[in-house]
Structure 1
């Protein structure tokens, strides 16, 4: 654990974040060096500094670097108690906080620690678990795995996924090097890695409404076996009818059965996808 961790981590985070951005698919909106307009406005209000609009020339503002680092330290580093985290682990959690918010980053740390309570609050139990964890190299990898699963679940993955994946891989490599006492790689600029990744970009789980309608009343306990048995029972009374009537009735019954089976298949898929999405976003 070191108070110098912020100074070592900051150049890497700034390299990932890039300069000015205002991508229409980025929930962060107008951003400069990872500081969104919303975060900057809040900092200005709290500090008594006049608000300004972030732009490509923000880096030329007098005192910008000091303001930026002050925001980073208070908003992200201190929020995840970076000074209390082991080398390497501090970087993995800090970078995740910058990209997805402190609460989300702490959740990933808690899940990596396999804590029973995952609430995004860095309290006594979380700190004790960190201090008791003997393999910081493995902890960095586990945090990054949780983070990547979350990113892959977002609907903006198609747009920013390549940059995010490279960023997480770089964070893991550097974090594990620091956890092992090595120097690690130099800060790396990664195109498209600075887009904010928040739960508001998560897709809606697939609906089962259509499947439930296809299955019909009582379909909550329907299975493939019960559908087949229902078809048999429905066809049986028409065994003595004319061949044409039999063919027509059988065709209608089979068509209804196929719709029901399709509904069962879709409901299974939708519930499984929703469960995986909920797990990734937890």
Structure 2
């Protein structure tokens, strides 16, 4: 899977502009009612990109941000084989939707190492062993379970959880 394919698939889950005042991601502070309500567009949120004119963000600008901040960050060198496309996409999707640190921790929990949010040799070795012993489908399911569990712990799950759960279900159906 290349970046263009992953971006096309992911952005279809993100949608257009939203400035729901009950969504903490739409506020520059990340806290409802604090900072400026700038919204979210194509998954690019005010709580992460507070200096950006979110409402007028173009798809090409969003694509550049995705590539730089959410795709190129996955350095998984050291595996004895290539990371399967399905898992590459899930890492990318989780980084966009739940944050890079959380995506890294989902992976670490899925493969049974300390979840410090740093991808190093211990994580790479554990991922390699998990893929070898269990296959991509099982590792991806473990990853998605960690992602879904994260969502259920969020205060905003009652309001936004249905959409997050659908996102996970869509991934599960593609395994």
TM-score range, shorter chain: 0.7 to 0.9
Q: How high is the TM-score relative to the length of structure 2?
A: 0.80
2:126 is aligned with 1:113: no
Q: Compare relative contact order (CA 8 Å, sep 6+) and give the higher one, 1 or 2.
A: 1
1:7 is displaced (CA, Å) by 2.0
Q: Deviations over 1:170-217 (max 9, x none)?
A: 12222x2xxxxxxxxxxxxxxxxxxxxxxxxxxxxxxxxxxxxxxxxx
RMSD over equivalenced CA pairs, Å: 2.1
1:38 is displaced (CA, Å) by 4.7
Number of residue-to-residue matches in the alignment: 156
Bigger CA radius of gyration: 1
> Aligned to 2:85, what secondary structure does the other structure show?
coil
Which 4+ residue blocks in structure 1 deviate beyond 4 angstroms? none
2:17 aligns to what?
Answer: 20
1:93 aligns to what?
Answer: 91
Mapped contact 1:107–1:120 kept (Cα < 8 A): yes
Distance change (3 Å), C-alpha of 1:159 and 1:38: closer
1:37 aligns to what?
Answer: 46
2:125 is aligned with 1:128: yes
Q: How high is the TM-score relative to the length of structure 1?
A: 0.51
- Structure 2 gaps of 5+ residues are 27-38
- Structure 1 gaps of 5+ residues are 43-50, 177-282
1:67 is displaced (CA, Å) by 2.2
Distance 2:84 2:126 in 1: 12
> Aligned to 1:114, what secondary structure does the other structure show?
coil
Mapped contact 1:80–1:97 kept (Cα < 8 A): no
The structure richer in helix per residue is 1
